[in-house]
Structure 1
Amino acid sequence: MKKILVFSLLCFGLSYGYSQSIDKIINAKDVASIENVLASDSLRGRATFTNDIEKASNFIENRFQKTGLLPFPGDKNFRQEFFLSKSTNTVANVTIDGTVVPDSLMGVISFQPKVDLTERDSITVVKLSAGDNIRQKIGAILKSKENLLVLVDNSFERYRSILRHLGKESMTPKSNSIVFIFGANDAKTFNIHLENSVAQKPLNNVVGILPGKTLPNEYVIFSAHYDHLGVGKAINGDSIYNGANDDASGTTAVLELANYFKVKNNNARTIVFATFTAEEIGEFGSQYFSKQFDPSKVVAMFNIEMIGTESKWGKNSAYITGYDKTDMGKILCKNLVGSAFKFYPDPYTDQNLFYRSDNASLAKLGVPAHTISTSKMDNEPNYHKVSDEISTLDMNNMAEIIKAIATSSTSIVDGKDTPTRVDTTQLN
């Protein structure tokens, strides 16, 4: 009995010491210090292609440098640079059944310098009718290689702004053109004249690594996107979409986790810490990032998206998208047994979140790549609004979530657990 008591006290002492150690590395004060920079008004919402996102990139690069990370193999620094084609529609003259369509009722996706089309040419008329699954239909429209004239029913009025700005950027510009017309029900005759200016725009992810001690050719990724919506129309005097939760919170987690694992300095597998650009305009940063790997060597990806607010279960909880796609979630839960924290399967499966975030590009290649989030997708009041500010976040809860990710991922980082792969034959 005495031996058992001594052993129990020893275990308690070790556990208490470990808790004290992780609390010193990951805590609400440090979390807030990072958030207060990334989500500040001075960074003006970190929109892609702006000086503001450049400032955010510099901040993350400096943090990686101070932490002691190394650049990704082949890169001279922490900037993983690539180019995106950006199309600006300069002329759009469209007539349908003899009526000129106002610019406000049009949306254009085209990377061709000049386009002239009528009903007699090779172009298909598509209708977005009331009751249609718009996400599914738009997905099919964007995948099409045909010229399309898309007639959008008035019931989709709230999507007008989105569709007007959709598809202006591309890594591989399409040869076809797509024109959305809002409020039109038919188009027996039409005449479309477009002129577009296309430019190559530089972008960069910020990526750093901790080389693995014994399994350096096996990778574990922690990621988030650092871009947001920038500056928009003023609402009650506020025009900055700070993106404190979306996704400065995830980026903060990546920076905290980088520091945590560097302090531990005993990772068997190589850890990659990645912050992506251009998520808000099409997940282009993570698409480029995914092409830099042999997917068979990526053991796991922890993508972190919007963890600044409480989940539907309250504090000390988060959910994992695509929970049933691999056994990674079960491994994380196993490693948290006895703690106050709990991971849950994604409760919003109808929204197909597993394939809607930066984990998707690698998941589609079979990598156990999941997103961890607390965002209440059926009721997140500040999502994509100017009100997504630092004051709406719970820094203490954020710190607990980051600590849970650190703790639960350790057996994977240490090479003791290897999650099963995504079945790519079942992609949806």
Structure 2
Amino acid sequence: MKKQLLISVLTLAIISCKSEPKEKAIDVQVQETTIGNHIAALASDDFLGRMPFTEGETKTVNYLKEEFIKLGVQPGNGTSFFQEVPLVEITGTPSEKMTISGGKTPIVLDYLDDFVALTQRIVPNVALNDSELVFAGYGIVAPEYGWNDYEGIDWKGKTAVVLINDPGFRSGDNQLFKGDAMTYYGRWTYKYEEAARQGAAGILIIHETEPASYGWNVVQSSWSGAKMNLESSAPQTDVQGWISMESAQQLFENSSLEDKNYNTLARQKNFKPIALGLKASVQITNTIKKDVSKNVVALIPGTDQKDEYIIYSAHWDHLGVGRPVKNDSIYNGAVDNASGTACLLAIAEAYKKMPPTKRSIVFIAVTAEEQGLLGSAFYAENPIYDPKKSVANINMDALASPGPMKDLTITGFGHSEMDAYAKTAADQQGRYIIPDPDAEKGYFFRSDHFNFAKIGIPALYASGSHEDFEYGVDYVKKMKEDYQKNKYHQPADEYIPGETALSGIQFDAQLLFHVGLQLANETKFPKWYDSSEFKAARDK
């Protein structure tokens, strides 16, 4: 509680600032026109939604390579601009129906309308055949919180039904996990991993828009069609899936669960899994393809500290060509993440206009972020640059605002001294910094900086997303809500010349350029705070 009060006081203190943007006199500007030109190209229909393993990937990675060559930036992986990332693509075709038997009345769920199902197992067919459904609360095993939602049951052959997010969300108790701020235990990736570690045959996550932070339409688009994974020896469930809130309510009503208030039950520290007296059946037929995708890596060598590295990152991929929405099937991904990739190139251009920095600057456009941060995960397991010598990561993902923003919102605020570097750069622009006000949505775990942090590299993931200098707070809030509802992971995320605002993106890119520039001419390494779970990885 004291820590949260301290952060609140700090936030209030730094919010009081001048109401007009001011830019410290500098010699080099990140060019707005450069950003716009690259977004227009990368988000065009010609790039087919930039899906790995497709013509869209070939066009994208070659485009990035050629643009780095034009800038005079060196290959970042020896003599190559590419780091090969072996992936397995599984295109699963589930049965049109999932049947639930054993209750008061039979339940039949329709694919996409009521459920999605997939598998990471590299086999032609998987199935749940009358798999016993067990409510496993939030699907969490967290010894540090004294929490085990799987305890006391042999999970072989069973399917866990779990809630999204973690017990702290909307509990009103800041001491329960991290209150409204999502922990990694709240992410769907963790829930899949834990169910597999427990030996379950399947897992079904109950979708709810607020704790998930996206609607069912995003589940439909993100968990259908071809999905990719790194080859791994880690255990996997046979079936992973989601069910809609309406389907979950129908399921619980037909179950043997006496107390239907399952959300309250799951928040109790002494919660134990509850057999629902129901059995689920669904089949998935897989088409399997193994191929190699590419991270694009470029380097600007430093001078006297050239073996120390500042790493800028952005993911180049999106969802490709998929389920049509309003007669449009190309998921262009203008905001997510042509914007960040464009800024990667524009910042590289800015560095090339000035004398070399003491430390080297690395630019990594990673693949398969939309498939589960796979490109950055592969890099973290196979780093080109020694993590001990990697000073910091500055990640750019989904930059969008109507104009220059008063705020700089830091996702993961309070983890490292990168906060202080961000504040210095924000002060130069007449901005204030705030922690992510939507920490319950788990954005810290939803982009590539997370994988850099996991291997001990202090990471900054920040952009203006709260208060516009001209339009204020409410306008930005409405814009974000519209994007989440109508454009996020939808074909409508397009670049519209003359309408897509670029000045705010440039303002953020300029700030991130300044942060990297300061780091690149220092001798110190930013530190993780003692309270951060990532400090141990750096200390190793």
Class of the TM-score when normalised by the shorter of the 2 chains: 0.7 to 0.9
More displaced 10-residue stretch of structure 1: 115-124 or 62-71:
115-124
Match of 1:245 in 2: 335
Which residue, 294, 300, 306 being the options, matches 2:398?
Answer: 306
Q: CA deviation at 1:299?
A: 0.7
Which residue, 366, 372, 388 being the options, matches 1:282?
Answer: 372
Match of 2:260 in 1: none
Structure 2 CA distance, aligned partners of 1:148 and 1:315? 48
Q: How does 1:2-41 map to 2 (within 5 A)?
A: 19=26, 21-23=27-29, 26-41=30-45
Q: CA RMSD of the aligned region, Å?
A: 3.6
More displaced 10-residue stretch of structure 1: 37-46 or 267-276:
37-46
1:136 and 2:186 are equivalent in the alignment:
yes
CA deviation vs aligned residue, 1:49-91 (integer Å, no higher than 9, x gap): 22112211111100111111222244x3211111111223367
Structure 2 CA distance, aligned partners of 1:423 and 1:165? 41
Structure 2 CA distance, aligned partners of 1:83 and 1:417? 35
Match of 1:124 in 2: 158
More displaced 10-residue stretch of structure 1: 264-273 or 391-400:
391-400
Counterpart of 1:22, as a letter, is: V
Structure 2 CA distance, aligned partners of 1:35 and 1:218? 30
Taking a change above 3 Å as real, the CA distance of residues 415 and 39 of structure 1, as seen in their structure-2 partners, is: same
1:107 and 2:117 are equivalent in the alignment:
yes
Taking a change above 3 Å as real, the CA distance of residues 36 and 420 of structure 1, as seen in their structure-2 partners, is: same
Structure 2 CA distance, aligned partners of 1:213 and 1:154? 51
1:57 and 2:61 are equivalent in the alignment:
yes
Structure 1 CA distance, aligned partners of 2:362 and 2:31? 22
Report how many residues are paired.
408
Structure 2 CA distance, aligned partners of 1:131 and 1:295? 31
Which residue, 52, 57, 81 being the options, matches 1:78?
Answer: 81
Match of 2:494 in 1: 389
1:379 and 2:481 are equivalent in the alignment:
yes
1:200 and 2:261 are equivalent in the alignment:
no
Taking a change above 3 Å as real, the CA distance of residues 407 and 383 of structure 1, as seen in their structure-2 partners, is: same
Taking a change above 3 Å as real, the CA distance of residues 384 and 423 of structure 1, as seen in their structure-2 partners, is: farther
Which residue, 330, 352, 370 being the options, matches 2:442?
Answer: 352
1:97 and 2:148 are equivalent in the alignment:
no
Check conservation: 2:444, 2:450, Cα contact below 8 A. yes
Match of 1:294 in 2: 386
Match of 1:398 in 2: 505
Check conservation: 1:306, 1:373, Cα contact below 8 A. no
Structure 1 CA distance, aligned partners of 2:242 and 2:352? 53
Structure 2 CA distance, aligned partners of 1:154 and 1:225? 26
Counterpart of 2:228, as a letter, is: E
Match of 2:142 in 1: none
CA deviation vs aligned residue, 1:322-373 (integer Å, no higher than 9, x gap): 1210111212322453433454432222222222211001112221112123
Check conservation: 1:215, 1:415, Cα contact below 8 A. no
Match of 1:10 in 2: none
CA deviation vs aligned residue, 1:393-418 (integer Å, no higher than 9, x gap): 32223222222222233220112553
Which residue, 202, 226, 229 being the options, matches 1:170?
Answer: 229
Counterpart of 1:223, as a letter, is: S
Taking a change above 3 Å as real, the CA distance of residues 415 and 116 of structure 1, as seen in their structure-2 partners, is: same
Structure 1 CA distance, aligned partners of 2:512 and 2:225? 34
Match of 2:261 in 1: none
Which residue, 442, 452, 456 being the options, matches 1:366?
Answer: 456
Match of 2:139 in 1: none
1:333 and 2:423 are equivalent in the alignment:
yes
**TM-score, L = length of structure 2:** 0.66
Taking a change above 3 Å as real, the CA distance of residues 153 and 43 of structure 1, as seen in their structure-2 partners, is: closer
Which residue, 409, 414, 424 being the options, matches 1:319?
Answer: 409
Structure 1 CA distance, aligned partners of 2:527 and 2:31? 32
Q: 5+ residue gaps in structure 1?
A: 1-14
Q: CA deviation at 1:181?
A: 7.3
Check conservation: 1:249, 1:307, Cα contact below 8 A. yes
Taking a change above 3 Å as real, the CA distance of residues 246 and 374 of structure 1, as seen in their structure-2 partners, is: farther
Q: How does 1:250-265 map to 2 (within 5 A)?
A: 250-265=340-355
Taking a change above 3 Å as real, the CA distance of residues 278 and 181 of structure 1, as seen in their structure-2 partners, is: closer
Structure 2 CA distance, aligned partners of 1:160 and 1:70? 39
Structure 2 CA distance, aligned partners of 1:154 and 1:325? 29
More displaced 10-residue stretch of structure 1: 156-165 or 357-366:
156-165
Counterpart of 1:303, as a letter, is: N
CA deviation vs aligned residue, 1:187-224 (integer Å, no higher than 9, x gap): 64566665544321210011101112111221101111
**TM-score, L = length of structure 1:** 0.82
Q: CA deviation at 1:308?
A: 2.7
Q: CA deviation at 1:167?
A: 9.3
Structure 2 CA distance, aligned partners of 1:22 and 1:362? 28
Match of 2:212 in 1: none
Counterpart of 1:127, as a letter, is: V
Q: 5+ residue gaps in structure 2?
A: 1-21, 133-154, 170-184, 210-214, 253-275, 467-476, 536-540
Taking a change above 3 Å as real, the CA distance of residues 44 and 163 of structure 1, as seen in their structure-2 partners, is: closer
Counterpart of 1:421, as a letter, is: W
CA deviation vs aligned residue, 1:237-268 (integer Å, no higher than 9, x gap): 43332221111111111101111112213211
Structure 1 CA distance, aligned partners of 2:452 and 2:504? 29
Q: CA deviation at 1:271?
A: 0.9
Check conservation: 1:229, 1:241, Cα contact below 8 A. yes
Match of 1:9 in 2: none
Partner secondary structure for residue 203 of structure 2: strand
Which residue, 210, 221, 232 being the options, matches 2:322?
Answer: 232
Structure 2 CA distance, aligned partners of 1:137 and 1:335? 31
